[in-house]
Amino acid sequence: MPASQAAAEAGNVSHLVYLAAYQLDVGESLLGFHGAPVPAEATQPVPENPVELFYGDVGRDEAEEAAKRLVPQSTKSFGDVLTGAGWRTIPSTYILCEDDRALPAENQEILAARAGTVHRMASSHSPFLSHPVELAALLTRISLAV
């Protein structure tokens, strides 16, 4: 979401890539996309079972190490609405992770429909850990096509 907002205001961005991400529109928020209210707490804790949620197809040891680096997030980041959506004026690509438990594929389908191009990976939420070579190759193909 910060990339969408920042890109809308920057003059030097030529392409956006959303990786299992919230490609939100102006007036939308992450919680609003899901129809959820903004919690009263200032921060949101790391979700329970982050290994299964974010790293379902990553080796157990690597997934546990990655989960240890997660920290609580500001509730504001989940509830603030976008005032600019860079993808409206900048070409975009969406990489849909089909086995994502954090942002299910059916939700990603809605978001991906906003992108000019969509690619799919048989991956959890974190293909940069579970499929790094495949993801790097895909990002290279995307960058060369721009």
Domains in the chain: ranges and CATH: 2-145 (3.40.50.1820)
What confidence score (pLDDT) does residue 1 get?
Answer: 87
Residue 131, classed as helix, strand or coil, is: coil
Which pLDDT does position 49 carry in this prediction?
95
Q: What's the pTM? A: 0.95
Q: Cα–Cα distances in Å, from 43 out to 11, 40, 78, 81, 109?
A: 32, 9, 10, 17, 28
pLDDT in tens, 82-123: 999 999 999 999 999 999 999 999 999 999 999 999 999 999
**What CA–CA distance (Å, rounded) separates 35 from 97?**
22
What one-letter code names the amino acid at 43? T
Distance CA 69, CA 47 (A): 13
Question: Token pair for residue 72?
Answer: 């609580």
**Sequence-ordered alpha helix ranges (H) in the chain:** 2-9, 30-33, 50-54, 60-68, 75-79, 105-112, 127-130, 132-145
Query: What does the DSSP 8-state code read for residue 39?
Result: P
